[in-house]
Amino acid sequence: MAEISMSNTNNTNGSYSNRTNSSVPSAIVPINDLNSSGNNNDHHVPSITNKEYSSCFSLPFFQKLIAEGIGTFFMIFAGCAAVNVNLNNDKVVTLPGIALTWGLAVMVMIYALGYISGAHFNPAVTTSFATCGCGKFPWKQVPGYVLAQVAGSTLAIGTLRLLFQGNQDHFLGTSPAGSNMQSLVLEFITTFYLMFVICSVATDSRAARKFSFTHLILHFSSPSYIFYVVHRVLVNFVQVGQLAGLAIGSTVIINILCSGPISGASLNPARSLGPALVFNRYEGLWIYIIGPICGAIAGSWTYSFIKNDCAIRKLGSKFY
């Protein structure tokens, strides 16, 4: 769900300006492109016009599609399996358990596949990266990504339906518990929030901080570990994307806890399309396509507008 780069680079002079001067964020370039330079000390991001990256008929692009399909499959499989187990066993998993399952699944798959495909796993994220400057994702790759994501979701729901066919055939999709407008607004707001966080932690070097997961584990049993984490995150810099999985997964958990009982907290058109296709139920499906896509686009554009004054200058030049 996040366009990230997990490459481990070192800045020799440690200056803040060298981390932000690149015209293209490192987060939007696949890892094989980052290593294309012959100079190991050259960490500038190559041009987005790299043939291997931009071609829709190359092996690297098909590798990205496979990664998107696998990542979406396991994310939907884990999250909807928790929903199914909860429905079949007297709500034993509970809403917090379902939210935690979704958040952890998103986090794990971002770290596992982010360096290959960017870890979108969501047509709304892919579309917003293509429409907004913070992602610079090529439009001609959008259909392939979306098809891979929907295919992964459909296969995951189909697998779950086969596994649990002996039990009650519960619908694993999303449907409004309140009014359609209430669910539409909630989907817009929660996906706006999600995409805003993605743009910050996965594409902006200013949001990245030096952070040691080893130190976090060593301090986990300490009552002051939360303050230690906050201190490490606020004081030092790290490579863009290293905290993306944790931040995005946490955002998913919060959104599900807030809107799950009302709208179902889809946040992802592929999450709703897969069950709709498998169960042949399309009531209210438009809510979970329009709401997340519009929310994600609005979130990415809003972040791009406020992250620096360049956008404000450009906007002002049109009127003066």
pLDDT, average across residues 105-130:
95
- The pTM of this model reads 0.74
Q: Which CATH number covers residue 128? A: 1.20.1080.10
pLDDT band at 204 (very low <50, low <70, confident <90, very high): low
Percentage of the chain with pLDDT > 70? 65
Which tokens go with 287?
């809510």
Say if 15 falls within a structural domain: no
The residues near 156 (Cβ < 8 Å, ≥ 6 apart) are: 72, 73, 74, 75, 76, 77, 80, 274
Which tokens go with 304?
């791009």
Q: For residue 243, what pLDDT is reported?
A: 83
Mean pLDDT of the chain: 78
Q: For residue 18, what pLDDT is reported?
A: 42
Structure-token match 């994600």, residue found:
296
Q: For residue 262, what pLDDT is reported?
A: 95
119's torsion region: left (phi>0), alpha (psi -120 to 50) or beta?
left
Higher pLDDT, 159 or 220: 159
Say if 6 falls within a structural domain: no
pLDDT, average across residues 98-123:
96
pLDDT, average across residues 191-215:
73
> What does the alpha-carbon distance between residue 135 and residue 128 come to, in Å, rounded to a whole number?
8
Does 117 have pLDDT greater than 90?
yes
> What does the alpha-carbon distance between residue 191 and residue 103 come to, in Å, rounded to a whole number?
14
> What does the alpha-carbon distance between residue 89 and residue 233 come to, in Å, rounded to a whole number?
40
Say if 4 falls within a structural domain: no
Question: Helix (H, G, I), strand (E, B), or coil: what is residue 157?
Answer: helix
**Do 29 and 21 contact (CB within 8 A), yes or no?**
no
Which tokens go with 129?
């990266």
Higher pLDDT, 170 or 18: 170
Domain encompassing residue 246: 59-207+237-317
Does 211 have pLDDT greater than 70?
no
> What does the alpha-carbon distance between residue 38 and residue 241 come to, in Å, rounded to a whole number?
24
Q: For residue 185, what pLDDT is reported?
A: 97
Say if 220 falls within a structural domain: no
Higher pLDDT, 25 or 312: 312
pLDDT band at 230 (very low <50, low <70, confident <90, very high): very low
pLDDT band at 167 (very low <50, low <70, confident <90, very high): low
Total domains, the chain: 1
Say if 126 falls within a structural domain: yes
Say if 245 falls within a structural domain: yes
Least confident of 45-54, 73-82, 191-200, 250-259: 45-54
Say if 229 falls within a structural domain: no
> What does the alpha-carbon distance between residue 172 and residue 175 come to, in Å, rounded to a whole number?
10
> What does the alpha-carbon distance between residue 267 and residue 259 come to, in Å, rounded to a whole number?
10
Q: For residue 178, what pLDDT is reported?
A: 85
Say if 227 falls within a structural domain: no
**Do 28 and 117 contact (CB within 8 A), yes or no?**
no
